[in-house]
Amino acid sequence: MSATTAITMARANSAEADAAAIELWDLIHHTPRFSSSQKDRTLYHPLLVQPEPRQKDAITTTKTRKDDMESDYYCNQRGGENAVCKDVNTKSLPLGEQIKIAIANGVKSDGFDGSAVQMKDLHNNNASTTTPRNNVSPTSTLDPYAFIYNDSHAQPAGDGNPSKILMHRDDQLQPEVLVEDENTSDSICNRTGAGDMNEMNRRSVEHSFVVCADTQFGMRDLNESWEFELEISRRTVAKINQMRPLPAFVSVCGDLVDMEFSFYENKPKSPFSMDMCHEIQDKQNKDFQDAWGQLDDRVALVCLCGNHDVGNRPTRSSIQRFNRAFGDDYLSFWCNGTFNVVVNTNTFSNPDGAPELLDQQLEWLERELKHAKECGADQIFAFGHHPWFLYNEDEVKDDLVGVSPFPNEWGPPPSLDAGFPDHYFHIKRENRQLALNLFREYGVTASFCGHFHQNLVSKTKWGMHHIVTAPLSIYFESTGKPLQEEENGVGFRLIRVRQGHFEHEFVKL
């Protein structure tokens, strides 16, 4: 072999090794966000492994490695230093799946994350003994132990003054569980085999998620600047990152930014041209992504579009602008045995600009909800921007007489009664029923939204909880709103989920 040939081969082998190392590094350290995570009508995140894509409503499943796995091995992927651990046999798993388990436990490349995690002694099989040890590197030959979160050690959401916790038990809303034949090879519910690790299965007795709304960069200063809203988002991200256990995901329910061209298109003496509007919106989107990109990598992020992202009369073009920045405008995903459906409510609020998009979304929505029911989702949660209704699921425009006065930050109002009428915020009845009929048929547990810029908790006649969360910008107070149990203000909502029920609290910043 010539020296030249040897050098060429060595370089090729080195390049192959480098590529493998880079791929492994990306798997361990990279968390997809925005358009990289919201695609294919689902959510991509290394700690929220979704079932294989459904093709023609059928998924092939195989019963392999079942005895090697504990259904709760992911339980304490976010448990922090108060976790209690148990051994899980993972030796028979492929390296990639072992790495996913290690990532789930917050493992860093140096094998130590700085936390005093309570574990079973490596050399002691006594189930009653727990001793601290460092996390195992995902490339170690040691078993990447999984952790089980002991919910008796749950910590509060933060040091603020959270409102009264509201708990909901929803046995009457539980969809019929689909019983699978052990010998069936074709099923729409990919629970087994390669799908053992996916979130269709319950992995822990409890998980949590956060709902935010109306970050609305640029709202206070009418898009001249947005440092006020940016700072609120930074504080919110920092507070979420301090939570133990960490939430599984955060859903920001629309109006990520304030600037959208259609609000200025027909405005007399508008200070902004179309090009200026697009440029400002792009800058606001970038600042939003920079701020929320600081969210702990172990927490998934879902970004919804609101009317200030796509317009009060959304078009295919305005929605595509959102898609390019943040990904799919509607999608679904599993989390710890619950099903989560993200809806673009803007096309329900006003479908005139793209009626075919509403038709497509409705067809998709029914298919997804049917899938959730057939696969025995423990609970189904819906997320959107607009409230489907404010005070009554059958309300019409004339029923709503309240007004939310314009904020003081906008200067003196043009009149004493100037403000946003309540009917501006809800979806008109004939359009809302398109969704609510499906929610009722398939047993949606709760629907979360924003847009109203104030807290409002209600319930349908058939038992679905309808929960509006106050903003991360300027909050309103409607003159027509009934007395609420929780305080209003700027903040976010923490939801804790257990089998068959959930509870929520508003965390004021």
| Nearest-angstrom CA–CA distance, 306 and 335 | 24
Residue of higher predicted confidence among 417 and 335: 335
Q: Where are the alpha helices (DSSP H) in 82-208?
A: 95-104
Measured in degrees and rounded to the nearest 5, phi and psi for residue 398 equal -70, -15
pLDDT confidence tier of residue 117, bands split at 50, 70 and 90: very low
pLDDT, tens only, 367-406: 999 999 999 999 999 999 999 999 999 999 999 999 999 9
| Nearest-angstrom CA–CA distance, 118 and 105 | 12
Residue 2's identity, in one-letter code, is S
Indicate if the pLDDT at residue 73 is higher than 60.
no
| Nearest-angstrom CA–CA distance, 440 and 447 | 11
Looking at residue 485, its pLDDT comes to: 92
Looking at residue 426, its pLDDT comes to: 98
Return the bridge partners of 209, or none.
249, 495
Q: Where are the domains of the chain?
A: 198-508
Looking at residue 3, its pLDDT comes to: 53
Residue of higher predicted confidence among 22 and 396: 396
- Pick from 387, 207, 193: which is nearest to 306 by CA? 387
Residue 167's alpha-carbon distances to 62, 150, 351, in angstroms, are 38, 20, 35
Indicate if the pLDDT at residue 78 is higher than 90.
no
Q: Report, as an integer, the average pLDDT of 283-293.
A: 98
Instruction: Give the SS3 label for residue 404.
Output: strand
Looking at residue 486, its pLDDT comes to: 94
Residue 11's identity, in one-letter code, is R
Looking at residue 358, its pLDDT comes to: 98
Looking at residue 252, its pLDDT comes to: 98
Q: What is the mean pLDDT of the chain?
A: 78
| Nearest-angstrom CA–CA distance, 26 and 460 | 45
pLDDT, tens only, 184-235: 333 468 654 334 679 999 889 999 999 999 999 999 999 999 999 999 999 9
Q: Which residues of 232-259 are buried (b: 16+ CB within 10 A; e: fewer)?
A: bbeebbebbeebbbbbbbbbbbbbbbbb
Q: Report, as an integer, the average pLDDT of 257-261.
A: 98
Residue 338 CA, distance from chain mean position: 12
Would the CA dihedral through 342, 348, 353, 359 be positive or negative? positive
| Per-residue tokens: 406 | 């314009």
pLDDT confidence tier of residue 15, bands split at 50, 70 and 90: low
Would the CA dihedral through 348, 349, 350, 354 be positive or negative? negative
Residue 222's identity, in one-letter code, is L
Q: Where are the alpha helices (DSSP H) in 380-460?
A: 429-442
| Nearest-angstrom CA–CA distance, 250 and 396 | 32
- Pick from 101, 105, 119: which is nearest to 196 by CA? 101
Residue 71's identity, in one-letter code, is S
| Nearest-angstrom CA–CA distance, 162 and 494 | 10
Indicate if the pLDDT at residue 41 is higher than 90.
yes
pLDDT confidence tier of residue 266, bands split at 50, 70 and 90: confident
Name the CATH superfamily, with its identifier, for domain 198-508.
Metallo-dependent phosphatases (3.60.21.10)
Would the CA dihedral through 497, 498, 499, 502 be positive or negative? negative
Residue of higher predicted confidence among 1 and 220: 220
| Per-residue tokens: 74 | 């992911």
Q: Output DSSP code: residue 257.
A: B
pTM: 0.75
Residues 6+ away with beta carbon under 8 Å from 168: 445, 446, 465, 501, 502, 503, 504
Return the bridge partners of 492, or none.
507
Looking at residue 31, its pLDDT comes to: 85
Q: Report, as an integer, the average pLDDT of 312-333.
A: 98
pLDDT confidence tier of residue 11, bands split at 50, 70 and 90: low
Indicate if the pLDDT at residue 286 is higher than 60.
yes
Indicate if the pLDDT at residue 5 is higher than 50.
yes
Instruction: Give the SS3 label for residue 467.
Output: strand
Q: Report, as an integer, the average pLDDT of 401-419.
A: 93
pLDDT, tens only, 477-504: 999 999 999 999 999 999 999 999 999 9
Q: What is the dihedral of CA 479, 480, 486, 491, to 10 degrees?
A: -60
Looking at residue 203, its pLDDT comes to: 84
Q: Report, as an integer, the average pLDDT of 270-279.
A: 96
DSSP string, 191-240: -SGGGGGSTTS--SSEEEEEEE----BTTTTTTS--HHHHHHHHHHHHHH
| Nearest-angstrom CA–CA distance, 154 and 211 | 19
Burial class (CB in 10 A: 0-12, 13-18, 19+), 212: buried
pLDDT, tens only, 43-66: 999 999 999 876 433 333 322 233
Looking at residue 437, its pLDDT comes to: 98
Residue 293's identity, in one-letter code, is G
